A = this chain, B = another copy of it.
Amino acid sequence: MAGSSIGNIFKITTWGESHGKALGVVVDGCPAGLKLSEEDIQTYMDRRRPGQSAMSTPRNEEDKIEILSGVFEGKTTGAPISMLVYNKTQRSADYSEIASYYRPGHADYTFDEKYGFRDYRGGGRSSGRETLSRVAGGAVAAIALKEMGIDFTTYVKSVGPIEIDPDRFDKAEIAKNPLFMPDKEAAKKAEEYVLDMRKKTDSVGGVVECVVSGLPTGIGDPVFEKLSANLAKSICSIGAVKAFEMGDGVAVSKTVGSENNDPFVADGGEVKKQTNHSGGMLGGISDGSNLIMRAHFKPTPSIAKVQQTVNKSGEDIEVSIKGRHDPIVVARAAVVVECMAAITIFDGLLSNMSARMDRVKDFYR
């Protein structure tokens, strides 16, 4: 199945393997006339770049994005925007051994069963490196949204058992620590925790939270194309995500209606919500308040700790995954969550333009 595209009107198609020649993305359906440069995209790429601290793999990949089409004289033309990054540090030797067995927590086994064989170099298509293409594509959406006054605040909410304290929330702090946490104290504790686990040859899970402000009311459609449903898909399509929450999320199942409903209030003529348990959507449609969502990431499956598995000859073996792996996914994944959300939101925003006949007629008048 053709499964490498996402979005209806604004659509990205990603390609490339961890250790192939290059990875890239084609962005189709971007409106013409958006100012866009390689530097604009690179800002987003750099947020997922590894090798910046002990919180991530020591591979020092440059991941310089190159735009090959769709931009002319500094603006998008309406034609597809093709972007790529050539792979440079392909130490394939590191991975040759894993061709012979199935790494626990990885897609090695399911790929072999599905396709008959696999590109075993560094996880191939199911590598976390595939998210590079998502970030390049999603950056275009995020840049377009920013021009419309729609902003993202994305951060790591928890690392293993260490959570941020809402009272200490400091947006400025996010960019200052390698774990992108908006709480200096929690970030420090979390770093120590990650280092400790790494020393124990283990890895750590965490939660990314993404808040979107400035979104107009009316984005998303009833039934299957709910903004919430599409966000759920785009976020859960990120490799290590095992749960997705909107607004109060899992907590809603333990509450009662009178507490969970957000009362409306008349605020100088405008309709506002007094609280935001719903996370900015009602009936799957944006309600004018902040969108709030969370993605729960599992610990990096590649660990040096000895694990039980099976080789391709069907024998039980013990393995210790070598190579340069992130001890935690969430730090570099925050920007991936943001970019996937941006794709879905921008697509929904463009879709919404044809919702009302009076506006269609105005448009063509």
Contact = CB atoms under 8 A, between A and B. Distances in A.
B359 A363 contact: yes
A307 B260 contact: no
A167 interface: no
A20 B83 CA distance: 13
B271 A109 contact: yes
A126 B283 contact: yes
B31 A113 contact: no
B158 A253 contact: yes
Interface in A200-254: 202-207, 216-218, 221-226, 228-237, 239, 241-250, 252-254
A110 B147 CA distance: 24
Residue picked from A160, A242, A271, A301, most chain B C-beta under 10 Å: A242
Contacts of A303: 257-258, 261
A284 interface: yes
Nearest to A300: B257
A106 B148 contact: no
Contacts of A284: 107, 237, 239
B310 A78 contact: no
Interface string A44-84: 00000000000000000000000011101001111111101
Contacts of A314: 266, 269, 271
Interface string A286-304: 1110000000111111110
A4 interface: yes
A106 B284 CA distance: 10
A12 to B, nearest CB: 9
Contacts of A117: 32-33, 72, 75, 77
Contact of A223 (B4, B160, B235): B4
A336 interface: no
Interface string A258-288: 1011111110010100100011011111111
Q: Which 8 A-B pairs have the closest CB atoms?
A: A107-B283, A3-B225, A2-B29, A3-B221, A233-B233, A203-B257, A232-B236, A263-B308
Given A2-B8, A253-B298, A257-B302, 14 more contacts: A4-B79, A15-B81, A72-B124, A77-B124, A104-B261, A104-B263, A110-B286, A148-B364, A205-B255, A252-B296, A261-B303, A271-B310, A350-B354, A353-B354
